[in-house]
């Protein structure tokens, strides 16, 4: 027996799309790492020298270590510069040993509360949750299709088994009627009637044999081994019996609450709204003027010479300061992007409202379908019992010579049709049950 649980274990372990879905979370984590790169320390150096006609025009050597800090968008800077030569601009000229400096660059306006690198990192962290929701959704979709294909295989298998049973009954009846015709107890036409029934059911069995092969192939689409090689369901495999687990309003309420809290679609939209919220905050920050203040304490770079006076070391008397100011007069670019972001927040919020309502309605609709199937299954079982009673009565009348082969075949064919209908209802019930859990954002119990 190849059970639904066996299918689940193979699908979740080896299915390529399931493995691909797992990569979504890894990809999101890589984006977080990429965003953290905005806070990586940067070391830079440059060297320029010019000598012509025996004159050392300039000898410029600059070095800087820049360490971005999270609070306030502050940059910590450590530098060492050496600008010497005959024609070096006095503004940049340094002592021969060079000048070392350590200082800060602080944004007092735009960028103090949030800047591009902090916005990017926060959004990347939120997108990890969105990627996890995408992963769950993709896996749930794969499982829903696999479960539907399993129960289609189950129904085709039951059809084949019932028709083969009907073939065996028809052949047995044909042999019995043939013996009665030979003995003179039945008219020859009765054997023709019995033979036609055998041929008709053999034709149905041949058609169903092909359908069963195709259903087995469709189910095999979900089967892969550990080496990522496709495998096929063997012909000797048989499906499990239907479970027909009843569902009541308590289950519906539980699944509705689960869907409202954890449905992948809603979780992804929630992550998108939080991401856009950070983007909106960043866009508001860009409406502020740029006011960057930088300060650096300086020291002569000849640190190993302790005889130098203290006035050449780090102190409040040796420094560089700077202020940068910029402000677009109309802010059309910034205001336009802010407005665009706010519209996206509204659109996503409305999409989330509609998705929540659609999901809950799908749950209720599928639940109603399941309850209808429960009533139909109970009624179908009673109908089958009554049809068996009719068939037994017809056989008794036939043995007493009060009925015909045609009536028996009619009763028997009707019984087979009713049993096929029952198998169809059972398969449909299991498919709808899988859909119910899918709309709740999860999978059927035992396959989570």
pLDDT digits (tens, 9 = 90+) for 252-280: 999 999 999 999 999 999 999 999 999 99
Give the pLDDT confidence of 199-217 residue by residue, as tens digits: 999 999 999 999 999 999 9
Which residues in 176-212 are b (16+ Cβ under 10 Å) and which e?
Answer: ebbeebeeeebeeebbebbbebbeebbebbeebeebb
Burial of 294 from C-beta contacts in 10 A (0-12 / 13-18 / 19+)? middle
pLDDT at 103: 94
Cα gap 373→310, rounded to integer Å: 93
Cα gap 25→22, rounded to integer Å: 6
Residue 314, pLDDT > 80, answer no
pLDDT at 303: 53
Residue 113, pLDDT > 60, answer yes
> Which of 234, 195, 213, 198 has its CA nearest to residue 159?
213
Give the predicted TM-score (pTM) of the model: 0.85
- Which of 59-63, 132-136, 366-370, 442-446 shows the lowest mean pLDDT across its residues? 442-446
Indicate the pLDDT class of residue 240, thresholds 50, 70 and 90. Answer: very high
Cα gap 204→301, rounded to integer Å: 97
Q: Which residue has the tokens 């909106």?
A: 280
Cα gap 201→339, rounded to integer Å: 70
Q: Which two tokens stand for residue 27?
A: 């990809």
Residue 308, pLDDT > 60, answer no
Residue 23, pLDDT > 80, answer yes
Cα gap 159→139, rounded to integer Å: 30
Residue 29, pLDDT > 60, answer yes
Cα gap 188→174, rounded to integer Å: 11
Indicate the pLDDT class of residue 106, thresholds 50, 70 and 90. Answer: very high
pLDDT at 186: 73
Asked whether the CA dihedral 339, 343, 344, 349 is positive or negative, the reply is positive
Residue 126, pLDDT > 80, answer yes
pLDDT at 448: 57
Are 284 and 96 spatial neighbours (Cβ–Cβ below 8 Å)? no
Give the pLDDT confidence of 365-410 residue by residue, as tens digits: 999 999 999 999 999 999 999 999 999 998 898 888 788 888 888 8
Structural domains of the chain, with CATH: 4-34+117-279+340-439 (1.20.1600.10), 41-107+294-326 (no CATH)
> Which of 229, 233, 230, 240 has its CA nearest to residue 217?
233
Mean pLDDT of 183-204: 86
Cα gap 398→406, rounded to integer Å: 10
Mean pLDDT of 358-367: 96
> Which of 155, 150, 135 has its CA nearest to residue 222?
150
User: What's the mean pLDDT when you consider all of the chain?
Assistant: 91
Residue 445, pLDDT > 90, answer no
- Which of 152-161, 162-171, 172-181, 436-445 shows the lowest mean pLDDT across its residues? 172-181
Cα gap 10→6, rounded to integer Å: 6
């Amino acid at each position: 027996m190849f059970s639904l649980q066996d299918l689940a274990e193979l699908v979740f372990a080896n299915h390529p799309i399931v493995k691909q879905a797992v990569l979504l979370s890894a990809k999101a984590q890589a984006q977080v790492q990429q965003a953290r790169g905005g806070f990586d320390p940067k070391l830079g150096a440059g060297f320029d020298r010019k000598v012509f006609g025996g004159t050392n025009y300039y000898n410029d050597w600059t070095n800087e270590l820049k360490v971005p800090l999270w609070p306030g968008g502050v940059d910590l800077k450590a530098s060492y510069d050496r600008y010497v030569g005959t024609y070096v601009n006095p503004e940049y000229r340094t002592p021969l040993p060079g000048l070392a400096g350590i200082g800060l660059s602080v944004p007092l306006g735009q960028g103090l509360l949030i800047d591009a690198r902090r916005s990017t990192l926060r959004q990347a962290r939120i997108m990890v949750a969105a990627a996890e929701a995408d992963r769950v959704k993709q896996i749930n979709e794969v499982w829903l299709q696999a479960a539907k294909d399993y129960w289609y295989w189950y129904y085709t298998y039951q059809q084949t088994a019932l028709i083969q049973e009907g073939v065996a009954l028809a052949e047995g009846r044909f042999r019995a009627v043939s013996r009665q015709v030979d003995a003179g107890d039945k008219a020859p036409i009765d054997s023709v009637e019995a033979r036609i029934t055998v041929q008709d059911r053999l034709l149905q069995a041949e058609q169903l044999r092909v359908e069963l092969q195709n259903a087995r192939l469709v189910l095999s689409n979900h089967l892969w081994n550990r080496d990522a090689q496709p495998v096929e369901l063997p012909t000797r495999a048989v499906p499990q019996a239907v479970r027909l687990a009843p569902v009541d309003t308590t289950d519906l309420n539980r699944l509705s609450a689960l869907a409202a809290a954890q449905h992948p679609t809603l979780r992804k939209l929630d992550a998108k709204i939080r991401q856009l919220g950070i983007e909106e905050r960043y866009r508001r920050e860009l409406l502020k003027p740029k006011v960057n203040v930088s300060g650096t304490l300086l020291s002569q770079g000849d640190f190993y010479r302790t005889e130098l006076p203290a006035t050449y070391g780090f102190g409040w008397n040796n420094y560089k300061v700077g202020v940068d100011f910029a402000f677009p007069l109309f802010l059309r670019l910034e205001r336009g992007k802010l407005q665009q972001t706010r519209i996206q927040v509204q659109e996503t919020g409305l999409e989330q409202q509609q998705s929540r309502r659609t999901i809950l309605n799908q749950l209720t609709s599928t639940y109603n379908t399941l309850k209808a199937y429960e009533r139909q299954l109970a009624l179908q079982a009673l109908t089958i019992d009554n049809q068996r009673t009719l068939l037994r009565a017809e056989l008794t009348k036939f043995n007493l010579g009060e009925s015909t082969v045609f009536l028996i075949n009619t009763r028997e064919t009707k019984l087979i049709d009713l049993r096929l209908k029952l198998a169809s209802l059972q398969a449909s019930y299991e498919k709808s049950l899988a859909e119910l859990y899918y709309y709740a954002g999860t999978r059927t119990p035992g396959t989570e």
